[in-house]
Amino acid sequence: MSARFDHAVGRYVHLDLGGVEHRVYFEESGTGIPLLLQHTAGADGRQWRHVLEDEALRKRFRMIAYDLPFHGKSVPPTTRPWWREPYRLTRQFLVGVPTTLAHVLELDRPVYMGSSIGGHLAIDLAIERPDVFRAVVGLEASAHTPGGYVDEFYHPEISNDFKAHLMYGLTAPMSPEAFRRETLWVYSQGAPAVFKGDLYYYSIGHDVTKTAHTIDTKRVSVDILNGEYDWSGTPELGAALAKLIPGARYQTMQGLGHFPMSENPQRFLEVIRPVLERIALASS
């Protein structure tokens, strides 16, 4: 018999978020410049498992992939009756998670990268926390994506299996089937209320159409990359967002969809390594 161990190591940290203690799970791998990794709506940090194992990035970056509170292994807090109110992800709360995590872990101006709600968050962080982060990378980002916060995503007749298979249509047709199915598998395991609640931020809480231009890319660099086959955060939306931000860089990820890091990790790494290498060189 033989065994092979991954490099990523998991830990818990207790964070004070809005006066409530949350036990947040994260996995980290590598050494060097800190890099915080945010998953998509309704999912968790497992989406980044392939990135955490990349040898080239491990030599340059201390990568930290966390589960948002109420997601994955970051179970709800025990100090408040959260079940008495609907789960709804707000911009203020979401901005506070990587900001507080960076502070507690004593990270020196980390790089931030996220997809979907995480891509939106990249822009909100650049606006609200430019002194905390040296660079942000927004995947599948746009200035505003209304219309996604609907009751059907938390309804007794709508299963997690349905929500997961809806995500299948957001992946690129040429992405390896095993990884497309893995992306669905992670989605199917989210708490029933979480996907709809996350989309409150995605469709309502995030709107930078009038504020994106205030970002100073000399203080925090901004990269935006959208997948060619993403019909939610389309390449057109990503490019339009980049045009609002003086000095921002945009790139369409050919052959990728809404979940580039999990649906086709090899292709995604080919695209993202040069972006992160440029950020690393600018930091040296």
Q: Smallest Cα–Cα separation from 69: which of 18, 23, 28?
A: 23
- Cβ neighbors of 146 (< 8 A, separation 6 or more) are 203, 204
Going from the C-alpha of 53 to that of each of 30, 65, 209, 280, the distances in angstroms are 8, 12, 36, 18
Record the tokens describing residue 95, joined without a space. Answer: 């901005």
Which pLDDT score, from 0 to 100, does residue 157 have?
82
Would the pTM count as exceeding 0.75?
yes
What percentage of residues in the chain have a pLDDT greater than 90? 92
pLDDT at 163: 87
Low-confidence ranges of the chain (pLDDT < 70): none
Tokens 């818990």 belong to which residue?
A: 12
State the pLDDT at residue 1: 74
Q: What confidence score (pLDDT) does residue 140 get?
A: 98
